[in-house]
Structure 1
Amino acid sequence: MRAEALADNKETKQEPDGSEVFEKIYENYQDLNRKMVNELNLSSIHGGLTGHCREEMWLNFFRGIIPQKFSLAQGVIIIDAYGNASREVDIAVYDEQYTPYVFRYNMLKFIPIEAVAVVIECKSVDPGNKQLTEWAKSIDALRTCRAGIARMATGYFAGLNNPTQTGTRPIKILACLKEVVRDGTWEACWQELQQSFDFIIAKKKDKDKYFELVVANKQKNLGWWGQQLNGISSASNDLQGLALERDIPESDPDSYKGLIFAADSSTLVKNTLADLEIEGNPILSLNLQLNQLLMLINNPMLFPHFAYAQQFNDIANLIKEKRQKQPHCEAEQNA
């Protein structure tokens, strides 16, 4: 009898409806949003915990939505082969599989710009625009070098003859706990910083339980984003969209559900980040938008070992010159 009852239950048990599954995912992202705000509000009760907790929380969040091919690290300095260094980056998302550390000792990490895909600045108070814009400028000042060489399937290539990626710049994100509206609307408060950050995650003053999302240039198409992230000249036709390599199979329209094509070309995709917005769910929107941008980046960018070696040799020569001059300076002082 027991076996028959189990069999009957198995037969009558209903599989979850597809729409129900998506509804649960949608609601879970809303719950995640609320839990993140509550966690940071709780840590802010004790000022000494806020900085550590906010970075750990954001680190766990981004680790949960970014593909495992990327590594995440806290408190890093980004450098380039021309001797430039950024300000400290709270969280960096970078390629560790093919790009070596130039220097790492315990918690100290100096990561080459060629490896970095995302930089995240975490703040728990109204940060002040000047400080944040200066931080963003220190990232923008870094330059990638195209002197890398690697073997591909069809031969050896250097970054110099790679037309799809002449440079790289990280996606910049500001994650802010407390929001103070100065003048005008909440969106107007972040207008200036949208020139420095691609994504801003912050709370609305009238919606203290949830994070909201500001996406700079969300109306720009993916062709524009591809140029920005890969250093391609704006003279390209991709400003009008993202050109696909092969024709779209017209016999199966459902296979390109959600894509928006130019009226004059079936292979020119004109989707924007705004097309990835999920109404009423900014954290789920961020998941889709950020990961779409990550898929536009050629990873890894060929690492320019020779350029970094030259930079370190230049520094070695400067150190040698300083040491040679030092005895003369000491002799003059003693005289």
Structure 2
Amino acid sequence: MEQVNKNLGGGITLNGNPLQLIAENYRDLNAMMVKEIELATAHPGLTGGYREEMWVKFFRSIIPRKFSFVHGAMIIDSGGKLSNEVDIAVIDEMYTPYIFQYHTLKLIPIEAVSLVIECKSTTYNSEQLIAWAKKIEELKANNTGIARIATGYATGVTSETQSQTLPIKVLVSIKDNVTDEALHQSKEQLGDHFDFIVQEQREFATDKKRFEVLIKNEEKTLGWWGNRLNHHYQIESEEEAPLPVKFVKEKPGGKTILEQAGFTLDENFGITNKLVEMKIADNPLLSLNLQLNQLLMLINNPMLFPHFAYAKAFQEL
């Protein structure tokens, strides 16, 4: 790969391939975050708040600015269901510029939420975490929103690509795992309810620590993920479906434009690439950046907000 040697000013010189430097920066970031957590743990009075702020700082650095972070909120739906408290909810305020509030309690409609993050320390109760996740999974996004688009007026009821969204669920903890078996156990216990699990791992021989990212469904196709996130409650099969792409024509005697771009296709030109194909060896946080943002782009925007559904719910009270 091309090497770069460029003076950026301010005493900074870029030596080597820029992608290599970015990868090294993420490895350094991983080590630095472990040290930050250990520092906070040494001062119990700071641990909870400091830990949560550290995760906000990290996710803020990798998630597009159009998303806002809300601390200590609860998520609701138009049917009156309520989640447990969510440590960090990530919403798109461009489409849902308000949060219902009751005094200081923040209530966020499920249609606005793209990502939820649950922060834990060195220990946690797996059954309680599963119950927490199920509370969110039980919320039902309503697809009766209506809005103007470039070609006319659109409603969520007629949307082929988004009927009921489910937020991406992330568990972060500083649970110290010494063996690969311990990490595997966490992934198997919680991987069906949390899309990403970020935990510490300590090498037994060197005692070095870093955060690892566990994804139970990493081998699933992007089409499977798209169905999981955009058609909640309507998934008929656990098969690894392709991601449907419209208006793709095969070039006579050659590859399609998608194949030229490096995608793999089925016979109907559906993209069959898997999430694991964005994993960077020996670099968990860089992998998380790429994989998480790809899934956010599959959701792309929150659902059209169903004002009629919430108005009806208030009227029926």
TM-score relative to the length of structure 2? 0.86
The answer for the alignment partner of 1:259 in structure 2 is 263
Deviation at 1:269, TM superposition (A): 1.2
The answer for the alignment partner of 1:268 in structure 2 is 270
Please give the alpha-carbon distance, in whole angstroms, between the structure 2 residues aligned to 1:298 and 1:178. Answer: 32
Matched, 1:118 2:76: no
Q: Mapping of 1:16-31 within 5 angstroms?
A: 20-31=17-28
> What per-residue deviation string (whole Å, max 9, x for no partner) do you get for residues 103-155 of structure 1?
24785421110010000000112111011111101111111112211112222
Matched, 1:41 2:38: yes
The answer for the alignment partner of 2:315 in structure 1 is 313
Say what the alpha-carbon RMSD is for the aligned residues. Answer: 2.7
1:165–1:298 Cα contact (<8 Å) kept: no
The answer for the alignment partner of 2:242 in structure 1 is 241
CA separation of 1:252 and 1:81: change in aligned 2, threshold 3 A: closer
CA separation of 1:75 and 1:154: change in aligned 2, threshold 3 A: same
> What per-residue deviation string (whole Å, max 9, x for no partner) do you get for residues 272-310 of structure 1?
111000000000000000000011114131111111112
The answer for the alignment partner of 1:227 in structure 2 is 227
Matched, 1:216 2:216: yes
2:113–2:302 Cα contact (<8 Å) kept: no
Letter in 1 for 2:309: A
Please give the alpha-carbon distance, in whole angstroms, between the structure 2 residues aligned to 1:180 and 1:239. Answer: 31
Q: Mapping of 1:190-209 within 5 angstroms?
A: 190-206=187-203, 208-209=208-209
Q: Mapping of 1:316-327 within 5 angstroms?
A: none
Query: For structure 2, which runs of at least 5 residues remain unmatched after alignment?
Result: 1-6, 8-12
Deviation at 1:247, TM superposition (A): 2.2
How many residues end up aligned between the 2 structures?
A: 299
> Structure 2 residue aligned with 1:278, among 273, 277, 280?
280
CA separation of 1:186 and 1:310: change in aligned 2, threshold 3 A: same
Letter in 1 for 2:194: F
Deviation at 1:311, TM superposition (A): 1.7
Matched, 1:168 2:165: yes
> Structure 2 residue aligned with 1:304, among 297, 303, 306?
306
1:223–1:240 Cα contact (<8 Å) kept: yes
User: Which of these two proteins has the greater Rg computed from alpha carbons?
Assistant: 1
Letter in 1 for 2:310: Y
Please give the alpha-carbon distance, in whole angstroms, between the structure 2 residues aligned to 1:258 and 1:43. Answer: 44
The answer for the alignment partner of 2:56 in structure 1 is 59
Matched, 1:293 2:290: no
> What per-residue deviation string (whole Å, max 9, x for no partner) do you get for residues 230-250 of structure 1?
0174459x9431122232665
2:83–2:135 Cα contact (<8 Å) kept: yes
The answer for the alignment partner of 2:4 in structure 1 is none
SS at match of 2:46: helix
The answer for the alignment partner of 2:137 in structure 1 is 140
Identity of matched residues, %: 48
The answer for the alignment partner of 1:75 in structure 2 is 72
Which deviates the most, 242-251 or 203-212?
242-251
CA separation of 1:185 and 1:167: change in aligned 2, threshold 3 A: same
Segments ≥4 residues shifted beyond 6 Å = 251-255
Please give the alpha-carbon distance, in whole angstroms, between the structure 1 residues aligned to 2:162 and 2:146. Answer: 14
2:202–2:209 Cα contact (<8 Å) kept: no
Query: For structure 1, which runs of at least 5 residues remain unmatched after alignment?
Result: 1-8, 10-14, 316-335
1:43–1:53 Cα contact (<8 Å) kept: yes
Please give the alpha-carbon distance, in whole angstroms, between the structure 2 residues aligned to 1:161 and 1:54. Answer: 43
Letter in 2 for 1:47: P
> What per-residue deviation string (whole Å, max 9, x for no partner) do you get for residues 316-335 of structure 1?
xxxxxxxxxxxxxxxxxxxx
Which deviates the most, 65-74 or 25-34?
65-74
Please give the alpha-carbon distance, in whole angstroms, between the structure 2 residues aligned to 1:254 and 1:273. Answer: 17
